[in-house]
Structure 1
Amino acid sequence: MPDLSVIVPIYDVKAYLPACLSSIAAALPDTITAEVVCIDDGSRDGSGLIAADVARQDGRFRVIAQPNGGYGKAINTGLHAARGRYVTIVESDDLIVSGVYRTLLDLLDRDPGLDFVKTAYQPFTDAGPLPVMAVPADKQSAADLMALSRDVLRHRTFAGDTAIFQAPAIWAGVYRKAALDRYRIVLPETPGAGYQDTCFSAMCFLNGMTYHWVSDTYYMYRVDRDAASRHVRNRRSEIVTLFGHVRDNLDANGGLCDCTATYFYAVYFRRLIWFMQRVRPDHRFALFIDAYRAFEGAWRDPGLRGAVQALLPGQEAVQFDQFWQGRAGALYAA
């Protein structure tokens, strides 16, 4: 069994893929047994051939080709095929910095009750790096935590800090495969690359998976590829479908307690605000109505509604109150 499985979903990224795969190979030290599972999701530009060529030269790489099924399908194929004790994801236009995988795996190995390690990450463009994102308030690194004695070191769950409210960034972390299997963490297989990673992140946190959030920055996240899903401004109601998937998963794993429900709706609302700006203008009101119905559980319970609002910062708390009263025009204005 390998120590680490690196899942790389690939679709029409010929210009970026060689650098991505080279960076992964360089980031895996000899002290880690690793496999790199490349999922060619029906690429039409020869990306699959690039991955296959790398696999012929480096036995740690293997390629699984499938008809195009979208980002969720590609990740699920990788999760099903992964043989490692731990799993991480690298998107095929991004880059990995050497030197951190060994430390993150050591941190996970030290505590069998730890389900994943979440890290900061470095957005970048061809012009250079942008400010580091998702840095924990205490700025502790994995090495800092490793230096603490076991009786002092405590892992966290979703109510322990603000990690759940950061961008999903599912690739900026390493996950214990057994924990993902235990909570049945899979992505919805909706078409394209419509923010299915939101589901993965929300399910990991809200199922109570334990984690450390560290300041290490090994993941270089490209933000200037025009074809990336984050730039698409023609969405419809995918966010409702995605959080329906999260809710179904939580129900299958025991349902929502009071605390989980509060965070579920708070995270849902914050993602809804962000997603609304990526929805085609003529569909924003329809999404508003669909989402309003999806929040029925919060509307029926004044205590829950108040607790959700209390978790939201500043203007978002005001918007949530307006949303409840059905007059949040700013959410869906074109």
Structure 2
Amino acid sequence: MDTSHAQPPQPAVSIIIPVYNLEQYLDATLESVERQTFTDFEAIVVDDGSKDGTRAVACRHAERDPRIVVVHKENGGVARARETALERARGRYVTFLDGDDLFEPEVLQRLVDEIERSACDVVCCDYKRICPTYEAPVRSGRTGEMSGLEFLEALLCNEVWGGLWGKLYRRSLFDGTIRHYPLRLWQDSAVNIQLFSRNPRVRFIDYVGYGYVQRAGSSNHSRLDFDYCRLYCETVSAELRRRDAELAGRADYFATLSTLRVYLTYFCKSRNPWAGDSDLARNLRRDVARYRREVRRHYSAARLALLDLDRWHALRPLVKLSVTFLRWRKSLERRLSR
């Protein structure tokens, strides 16, 4: 069942909002949409079979604001919810908003102004982490333009945020070749890897326009197991190799960056079991050695040395101590940047 109202022909922006059991957060999220200074949009809320009062909250907002459309479907995960919304989207541009996050009032206006002024294909803004006791802006440190392949390389090294949110895309980028994998983690990155493989023009603006709410129980705080890391790496590597022509024959290099990012994320969580003797780790060390000069542009010698040390189980305590120090330092830097 859909709850909708008469709509003007082709709004400028389609806001895609997948939701599942977010009754406590969705009011604030949709209020931040309704407060936008840019008004030519449609907001497609896909209720992915919620078991709480999420559906009622969404319908209440749709009844009072005709720009909000609510779609109800059986639970199938966020990837399928986004697919459902994209099939219905009519805007020239598409942006994404998680059902527990927030828009700043001018974010749509800033993004639309920039994409139309620059004629780029994607425009990115900065975001802020919203925690129970503090808020902290996270700035990319970038302004101006870069190519899609430059963005892809930066994404695969954690130098830019891989989320779909905080970005405005031309809707034409989401054609039938984009696959929305029903992954437990990093679904956004899997989509962006495909999009930026096409080498669109990307623009950054110096504006904190998105509020990323940190909450216990979200997928980003779920346990990270090695089998899932391996599945994700295999999925992304296959996608990159499928697009080797678009990547100018550099799919193997990008796949190495992707696997390195995921493996470092895994073993830098010091409580995870050691996996330094796995096929993934052995092949990764081989590939990093093959591309060492290029990889060194993105990773310090100290971090790559940890990857080498991780091959020996006896050195696991040293690796754990080192990554704990790096994690504390990163946390301190984040808090000092508030």
Q: 199-208 or 226-235, which moves further after superposition?
A: 199-208
5 Å-filtered alignment, 1:130-145, equals 130=136, 132-137=137-142, 140=143
Which residue matches 1:105? 112
1:88 aligns with 2:95: yes
Q: 304-313 or 211-220, which moves further after superposition?
A: 304-313
Q: Using structure 1 for the length normalisation, give the TM-score.
A: 0.79
5 Å-filtered alignment, 1:1-334, equals 1-27=10-36, 29-30=38-39, 33-112=40-119, 114-130=120-136, 132-137=137-142, 140=143, 155-159=146-150, 163-164=154-155, 165-181=159-175, 184-190=177-183, 193-223=184-214, 225-233=215-223, 235-255=225-245, 256-257=247-248, 259-276=250-267, 281=272, 285=275, 289=278, 291-292=280-281, 295=284, 299=286, 303-322=290-309, 329=316, 330=319
Which residue matches 1:149? none
Cα distance change of structure 1 residues 101 and 200 upon mapping to structure 2, 3 Å threshold: same
Deviation readout 1:239-262 (Å, 9 max, x if unpaired):
332333333333333445455543
User: Offset of 1:217 from its aligned partner?
Assistant: 0.8
Deviation readout 1:298-321 (Å, 9 max, x if unpaired):
836954355334532243222344
Structure 1 SS opposite 2:212: strand
* Corresponding letter in the other structure for 1:269: L
Cα distance change of structure 1 residues 215 and 162 upon mapping to structure 2, 3 Å threshold: farther
* Corresponding letter in the other structure for 2:110: T
Structure 1 SS opposite 2:128: strand
Deviation readout 1:283-331 (Å, 9 max, x if unpaired):
x539x72633774xx83695435533453224322234446x6778448
Q: Using structure 2 for the length normalisation, give the TM-score.
A: 0.78
Native 8 Å contact 2:94 2:168 kept in 1: yes
Deviation readout 1:70-89 (Å, 9 max, x if unpaired):
22222222223222111111
* Corresponding letter in the other structure for 2:240: L
Deviation readout 1:248-287 (Å, 9 max, x if unpaired):
33333344545554344224312332244569845x539x
Native 8 Å contact 1:121 1:218 kept in 2: yes
Q: Which consecutive residues of structure 1, in runs of 5 or more, have no partner in the other structure?
A: 146-153
Aligned partners of 1:212 and 1:276: how far apart in 2? Answer: 33
Q: 154-163 or 64-73, which moves further after superposition?
A: 154-163
Native 8 Å contact 1:84 1:177 kept in 2: yes
Aligned partners of 1:42 and 1:199: how far apart in 2? Answer: 23
Native 8 Å contact 2:59 2:70 kept in 1: yes
Aligned partners of 1:56 and 1:176: how far apart in 2? Answer: 28
**Number of matched residues?**
307
% identical aligned pairs: 23
Which residue matches 2:6? none
Structure 2 SS opposite 1:311: coil
Q: Which consecutive residues of structure 2, in runs of 5 or more, have no partner in the other structure?
A: 1-9, 325-338
Q: 20-29 or 194-203, which moves further after superposition?
A: 194-203
Aligned partners of 2:302 and 2:25: how far apart in 1? Answer: 38
